[in-house]
Structures are given as C-alpha cells and as structure tokens.
Structure 1
Amino acid sequence: MEQLQADMMTKGVFTRHERRQMKYLTKANEAQRQYVKAALPANHLARRWMETCGEVDDYGNIDYCGVPLCPRCHMRERAVQTGKAIKKIFCDAANEELAFATILLPPQLDFAGMTDLVENEKRRLRTFIDRQRKKDHRWDDFHLLGWWEIDRMSFGDFETCGRNTRIALDALGFPLMEAPDKTIWRPHLHAIVRKGGLTTEEIASVLRKETHTAKYQVDIQPFRAYRDAGDNIQNIVRYCLKFRIECDYKRPDAQDFIEAEQADEAKPTERNWWPAEDIRAYVDWLCLERSGFQSLRVVIGQAKDKSASGVQRVMSSSISIGEEIEDGKKSTNAMPDRSGTRHHINEMKVSHVVSDMNGIFVVEDNRSVSRSNADIFDVGNGVTLIVYNNIVQDTNWTDASKSSLLQRPGVGNIPAGAIAVSKTSRCAGSVVSLAERLRNIADIRQASGDQRGGATY
C-alpha cells in the first residue's frame, strides 16, 4: 500500500496543486517529523511552528513551518531548488561543463563558532575566485551553487570511518582526546560547479594548492556522462538537502542518490536517531541563530561584463556586501561581506566619487523616487555608499549664477576659465544637484591649491 501511494504521488496521478493539498506524509517521513518535535521543549519556537505545518486554511493556503529537519518543508525546498538549478541557473549547461564538489571544514565540538566558520569560508571562496579571475579570464565563467551540510559523529566513530575520511579529519584538526560519547559536528559544503573554460583537475589543483591544503579536503567529480544533466542535477540537489538524522544512515554516491534512497526506503529497518540534545542544538542553530534554508545556500555567480567605468571599478574592488545590489536597494538576504572581494552593482549610475582621509564616499544620482530620500550603507573597509533616490529633494535650490559658485571665503575669486564647470545643469530651473555641487567644490579646491587634510566633501 505504501508503494502504491508513493507511485501515485510520483507517476502523475495527481496534479501539482492536488499534491500540495495533501496533508499527510509517508510513514517514514512522519516518523522523523514526530521525533524532531519530541526532541524540542514544549515551548520551543520551532516546535510551535511544526505543530501547524501542513494545515490548509479556508482559502486554500498551506502553512509551512520552514524548519529544515521537517520532511514536508525540506522536500518542498529541494523541489524549488531543483527547479531553479535545472531551468534557470544551469539551463544551457551540458554534462561536460558541470561537476560536483565537496569541501570539508574543520570539525567542531559545538555550534558556538559554526556561523563564523561557514561565513568566513564563504568569503574565502569569493576572494579566491576573484583572485583567480584577475589572473586567468577562464575563471570568469566559473559558477558555483551549493549548500552547507552539518553532519555529526561520536568520538568513538572515528575508528570505523574509511581510510580517506580518517586522514581528512586528522588533517583538519579532529580532537585527539574526548569522551567516547561526545558529539563531533562535521560542517562541509556540497556544490554544483560550472567549470567555464577550466577542467575539473585544474579547479581541484588550485583549490588544494592555495586555500584548502589539507589532504582529501577537496573532492571534485565530473558529472556522469551516461545520464542527462538535469537528472544529475536533481540527484545532487536531493543529496544536498536530504536532512537525514539517523546515526547509521549510509550516504550513497550523490549522483546516484535517488535510486539508492528508493532502494533504502524499500527495506524496513529500525531507525537509529540522533540524540535528542543534538537535534535541539542543530534546530537552534538553523532556525534561531540562522535563517533556515536561506542561510545554507551559497552562490558564486559568473563574472559580469568588464566594460565598467573607472568609478565602478573602484567600487567593485572596494565594496563587498554579500549579495548584489539592484535598483539602488541594499539586499537583505545575506549578511555584509567585508572581505574586500569584487562585487558587482547593477544599474547604478555614479555621478561622483570624493575621497578624504577617512575613506571613499560614493555619491549616486537616481531619478526614481522611493520611500526614503537617501540610503547610507557602511560596507566596511572605510567605504560608505550613499544612494540618493530623489534628485529633486536632494538638490540645492539657488538663484545664484554658476560664477557665484566659484566664490569661497578666504580664497577670493577664481577665474571662470580656471576650472571646468558643466555649462548646463541636468535639473530644471535654477537648481544645482548635490553631485554637481560636490564636483564644483572639489574643482575649486584643486584649482586654488587647497590641500587641507581631513576635509570631507
């Protein structure tokens, strides 16, 4: 009967909308959901979310808890991520262009430093890719889409691991002396990479040589040639978002994951769950300290067009905020990235860059009106990005002529021909935009030989 139900769900008997309306999970998935709930205290926030997960209101809306260990939610998430990867991100890629990568990080005794560890690794990867692109343009088409996975093991499990795993854990700092039942957390990154003009061996070699020098820390495998690229991507995404919490769960090859998982589920076995305290620690980190599925996703896109202006090149080398900025808005999807890696800012027309001893101030004119007059972003490295959204409100209304703008107390009159001033203002009427005024002040000081330090424009 369970096999019949599974076939009805996967063989097109129901439409996508009808499948979404089904509240009940399979017996195995429901068992995991109930165990996760039981491992959490009654007043735990994630447990309250899981209580109503799957319920449908009078308007047909489905409530999802968003807890990654909830089978309903992680199956929904992997369906979304699979669709994006196949239909959008790697839609035109062939098997020969893609590979599956795994990067191991040092084992951890708890989650206290886990966030810093994964965020630093993400910044390190971005910096590494940026550095390679400056040396070799074949890296411009390199593209990475991956997800963090946090596995667990006991100290006593070390001897039962395979040879390569033991060598890798030892090189990454596996603790030498701990209690036999002590939990060891093993963070690692699984990713689909688009190789661009590189080979699998070249990518692995450079990673192992420059950033990930521990033995067996990096593993990159080409896609299976005998299977369609879409099927390979589906297998890998499901492998990355499996969220299995059994101690003795055997992890099959990622590119054969679907077949192995189906065969594994056909064998009724007693499940050896993680300890309840480990479930709670993992859920706390995923849902309370982090932002669930969103915080597990890692994307390093292809390089943008190199035809940027000099000002944009200054910005791309100085500003790095984790996610792309579009239409003058700061992304709220990720924490700021202060590593100094290259970052591309789309559709921004920078009018002027003024620097002082405290850093660089990038002033932008954007004629579209938004809810705020200006956004000021502290992006680290002594750089402040000022985005002016309303050019009418952010101007100096004045009846003065342009020649009067060249007056400054204590300096005297500057001849009109001494500096270049734009003959026509971009603003209607007797209006001088803030960017134009800043430019005039800078030109005046340069022409007058004023080199005072610490001046801020």
Structure 2
Amino acid sequence: MKTRMEQLQADMMTKGVFTRYERRQMKYLTKANEAQRQYVRAALPANHLALRWMETCGEVGDYGNIDYCGVPLCPRCHMRERAVQTGKAIKKIFCGAANEELAFATILLPPQLDFSGMTDLVENEKRRLRTFIDRQRKKDARWNDFQLLGWWEIDRMSFGDFETCGRNTRLALDALGFPLMEAPDKTIWRPHLHAIVRKGGLTTEEIASALRKETHTAKYQVDIQPFRAYRDAGDNIQNIVRYCLKFRIECDYKRPDAQDFIEAEQADEAKPAERNWWPAEDIRAYVDWLCVERSGFQSLRVFIGQAKSNSATNSQRVVSSSVSIAEEIEDGEASLNSIPDRSVTRKGIDEMKAHAVISDMSGTFVVEDRGVASRGGVGVFDMENGLTRYVYNNIVQDTNWTDAIVDMPLPILDTELLLIDPAAISKTSRYAGNVITLSERLRSIMALKQASGVPRRDMMQP
C-alpha cells in the first residue's frame, strides 16, 4: 500500500504539475524501479560495459543534456522507450485505426538452453514472416494492407517449472522441443514475439489459420486475439506496448493479460511483496545478448508495413519488393535509447545483400546473395561482422570528350604525325563517349613521344 507521500508524488507526476522536460530531469526513480536498477548493476561484473553505461544514466550535463544508458533492463530507459514507441504506434503507424481493424498476436519460438543461437533464431523468424507475408500478398490482394508492429521478449524458466505451467503452455512447449532431460535448476529461455497487427481486409481467423498452416504448425504456437471493444483503440495500443516492453526480471512475476496490463500493473504495485529476482548469472547472460551481441531496444523491434502501391516507378522496384526496403530500415531504426557504436548487429545484412543497388562513376553493380557482380574499377573487400567495403579505384579520371590527337598537350608537327605508330593512338577508350582515364592518357603521351623520337630521359618531363 502506498503511503500518502508516495501517492502525492505519483499524482504530481501524472496530473500535469511538471512539464515533460521537467519530468525528464528528475533523476530519482520509484523504490520498485530503483530496486531493479540496483539489482541489475549488482549482477554485472565490475568491468562490464553495460555497468559503466548505467553508472551515469539519468545525469544532467552542463548544457542540460540527459545521459541514458540504453540498457533494456534499466527502468528509466525502458519506460522512456515504451513512451516513445507508444506515441509512434498511436500517432503514426496505426493512426485512425479502429478496434475492429487491430488485433494482438503472440508467436512462440522453440525454447533455448542458452543465447548462443538466439540471434539466428529471431532473425530467421523475422525473415520467415516477411517471406510469408510477401507470398500471401501475391496470392491475395487483401494482404496488401496488413501491418505488424512487435517486439521480441525472452522469458526465463527452470526445468522444474514445466509442471506448473498451464495445459496449453505445456502442449506448446512440448511441440516446440522443450528438453526432456535436464538438471532441475537449468535455465531455459523462451523467446516469443508480441505484436499489434492491422488486419486490413482479413479476419482474425484467416490470419491465424494462414500462419498455422504454412509456417507455424506447432500446437498453440500462434495466438491472435481481437482488441477489446469496450476500450478506445489508443488505450488498447498503450496497454500492449507496455506489456511488450515490461522487462520484468522476477521469477514469480504474474503476467497479466496484455490488454489489461496497465490496470493490473497498478494493482500489483499497490501490494507489498518480496521480489524473487532472476539469478545473477541469468541477468548477465541476458544483458550480454541485449547490449553486447545485439543493439538494445533497436534490435528487439519488428515492423512490417503495408505493401507499396502499384504506381511505384521502375527505379523504386529495383530496390524493393512487396515488403518494402523502407519497412526493413524502419524495423531497425535507431530509437531514442539505441546503443550507438556499441555493437554491430546482423540486422538487415541479408536483406541488404538481396536488394542493395550501388552506383559509381562508370557503372552500377548490384550486391547479390552470393558474391558481387561489379564493373567500373570498384574494389570489394569483405570486412568483419558481415560488413562489406566498396572502394572506387579510379579516383582521378580525365573527362575530356574530344579527340586524343587534337587535345594532345605537346605540339606535334604535321610531318611528325607520319612517324607516329597509328596503333598507339587508334585504340578506343573502354569508356563510352571516348572518355579516357588518366593512365590511358599518360600511356598515349609516352607512346607519341617515343614514336616521334623524343629521348627516353625526357619522357617523364612535364
């Protein structure tokens, strides 16, 4: 139960006493949020990168700038992130959508014993979803208005918790390959995707049936629920975004229904209880995956937008499919809490290789799935972390569009032209329009000098 002072502080934060900028400058969190922040810090080793980022989180600089660590388990940062994502979902992505057009979807992925294959698992699932939607749009135009906005969530459970799960959860975990024999205290990670979907011209049953039929065949792997009709669509979206970005790390935390999350969370906060935190080694493993291998909030967001209209130009179609490149960029766009230059993620590398078109001075080459087809003096170097570096080797290029003999820098007499080897000057440039490179120009000058009898020592003189 909150004390009168705690209730007064809560009312001052929510009743418009402070401006948004003033609220952002308040350094201190509530007791419950500060307890989680301190526990995460205590679970990390002294030399961990995320610990150094969290030390200065919330501090205000000399010029009024606020430092944010960007660690998803930091309450200050994930509350800030969910506010940003809530506003973006309501005002931009699903602007004007009614409850009848929206639904809440959950997709379960196979349980994992550690984070070694977690990145490949979620990235493969993201590509599979995009491929599935692209295939559906080719068969049925009603899928063109389908949209999906979601976030990855990783739940933790022990092997012994299996028997305490509900019937449907046990059936789903068993169908997805829950390990049969493990140590009782072994941690098992349960990745899944929570998402808001705009149904377009489809029904909830049609979307769920298509997913279960083609890509997600395990029992209870896909669950799609319509929005609550008695609540405003914006309130439903706010509840779901908060549910997706809750980042609670208690072993016995009771997860309420997503569409009633705010009310249930407020009721839960009013009840004093001893918090049963995750083990410290699990906190470290989760933070390592979120902030070192991945890029924090940025890598958890999944967005698939509406199909592009048929009026797109040919140049746009070269670099896009029915699931547009703009959507893929938006999927990993830098959020306010993204972690800059702290890790190189694998997001979008395969999509970039499949669609990217790069132009240079003498031509264009396309990055394909296997290898690079290039022309025009472009060097391609494979770098670490899946990056590719493109270097244009022909930096200096002579762009004279005139005949090589007329534009010769040295004066040549008519009688001397008869002594010049015609083969030395009759070679056409390998570039269109008789554009010659600097190296070709120098070779032609030397050939002309040699043919005209100029001494060898003078060939290098200007």
- Which TM class, normalised by the smaller chain length? 0.7 to 0.9
Q: Which residue, 347, 359, 365 being the options, matches 1:335?
A: 347
Cα deviation, residue 386, structure 1: 8.9
Q: Deviations over 1:144-192 (max 9, x none)?
A: 1110000000000000000000000000000000000100000000011
Q: Is the 8 A contact 2:134 2:323 kept in 1?
A: no
Aligned to 2:276: 272
Q: Which residue, 145, 152, 156 being the options, matches 2:156?
A: 152
Aligned to 1:202: 206
Q: Which residue, 20, 25, 30 being the options, matches 2:24?
A: 20
Cα deviation, residue 398, structure 1: 2.3
Cα deviation, residue 58, structure 1: 2.0
Q: Deviations over 1:25-81 (max 9, x none)?
A: 000000000100111111211111111111112221111111100000100110111
Q: Is the 8 A contact 1:78 1:241 kept in 2?
A: yes
Q: Does 1:180 align with 2:192?
A: no
Q: After TM superposition, list the pairs within 5 Å mapping 1:87-236 onto structure 2.
A: 87-236=91-240
Aligned to 2:303: 299
Q: Is the 8 A contact 2:308 2:323 kept in 1?
A: no
Q: Deviations over 1:374-426 (max 9, x none)?
A: 99799xxxxx99999xxx9889542159xxxxxxx9xx9xxxxxxxxx9xx9x
Between the aligned partners of 2:156 and 2:120, the Cα distance in structure 1 is 18
Q: Is the 8 A contact 1:353 1:363 kept in 2?
A: yes
Q: Deviations over 1:304-347 (max 9, x none)?
A: 12234556545435999796579xxxxx98633436999699xx
Q: Is the 8 A contact 1:322 1:337 kept in 2?
A: no
Q: Which amino acid aligns with 2:37?
A: R
Aligned to 1:286: 290
Between the aligned partners of 1:393 and 1:7, the Cα distance in structure 2 is 67
Q: Higher mean Cα deviation, 152-161 or 138-147?
A: 138-147
Between the aligned partners of 2:398 and 2:142, the Cα distance in structure 1 is 45
Q: Which amino acid aligns with 2:347?
A: M
Q: Which amino acid aligns with 2:48?
A: H
Aligned to 1:44: 48
Q: Higher mean Cα deviation, 336-345 or 130-139?
A: 336-345
Report the TM-score when normalising by structure 1: 0.75
State the percentage of identical aligned residues: 82
Cα deviation, residue 362, structure 1: 8.9
Number of equivalenced pairs: 391
Q: Does 1:248 align with 2:240?
A: no
Between the aligned partners of 2:114 and 2:105, the Cα distance in structure 1 is 25
Structure 2 CA distance for partners of 1:264 and 1:97, relative to 1, 3 Å: same
Instruction: Note the residue ranges of structure 2 that are not aligned, 5 or more in a row.
Output: 331-343, 358-362, 383-387, 405-422, 427-431, 437-462
Between the aligned partners of 2:200 and 2:398, the Cα distance in structure 1 is 46
Q: Which amino acid aligns with 1:30?
A: E
Q: Is the 8 A contact 1:102 1:218 kept in 2?
A: yes
Q: Is the 8 A contact 1:322 1:334 kept in 2?
A: no
Q: Deviations over 1:178-212 (max 9, x none)?
A: 00010000000001111111111111100000000
Q: Which amino acid aligns with 2:129?
A: L
Q: Is the 8 A contact 1:320 1:337 kept in 2?
A: no
Between the aligned partners of 1:128 and 1:233, the Cα distance in structure 2 is 25
Residue 316 of structure 1 aligns to a residue whose secondary structure is: coil
Cα deviation, residue 82, structure 1: 0.6
Q: Which residue, 215, 239, 243 being the options, matches 1:239?
A: 243
Between the aligned partners of 1:355 and 1:301, the Cα distance in structure 2 is 24
Cα deviation, residue 301, structure 1: 1.2
Between the aligned partners of 1:4 and 1:355, the Cα distance in structure 2 is 59
Q: Does 1:54 align with 2:58?
A: yes
Residue 156 of structure 2 aligns to a residue whose secondary structure is: strand
Q: Deviations over 1:215-254 (max 9, x none)?
A: 0000111111111111111000000000000000000010
Q: Does 1:79 align with 2:79?
A: no
Q: Which amino acid aligns with 1:71?
A: P
Between the aligned partners of 1:254 and 1:179, the Cα distance in structure 2 is 32
Q: After TM superposition, list the pairs within 5 Å mapping 1:312-323 onto structure 2.
A: 312-313=316-317, 315-316=319-320
Report the TM-score when normalising by structure 2: 0.75
Q: Is the 8 A contact 2:354 2:367 kept in 1?
A: no
Q: Is the 8 A contact 2:146 2:306 kept in 1?
A: yes
Residue 197 of structure 1 aligns to a residue whose secondary structure is: coil
Q: Does 1:398 align with 2:401?
A: yes
Q: After TM superposition, list the pairs within 5 Å mapping 1:61-76 onto structure 2.
A: 61-76=65-80
Residue 302 of structure 2 aligns to a residue whose secondary structure is: strand
Q: Is the 8 A contact 2:162 2:170 kept in 1?
A: yes
Between the aligned partners of 1:150 and 1:39, the Cα distance in structure 2 is 18
Q: Which amino acid aligns with 1:261?
A: E
Residue 283 of structure 1 aligns to a residue whose secondary structure is: helix
Q: Is the 8 A contact 1:324 1:344 kept in 2?
A: no
Aligned to 1:444: none
Between the aligned partners of 1:399 and 1:168, the Cα distance in structure 2 is 74
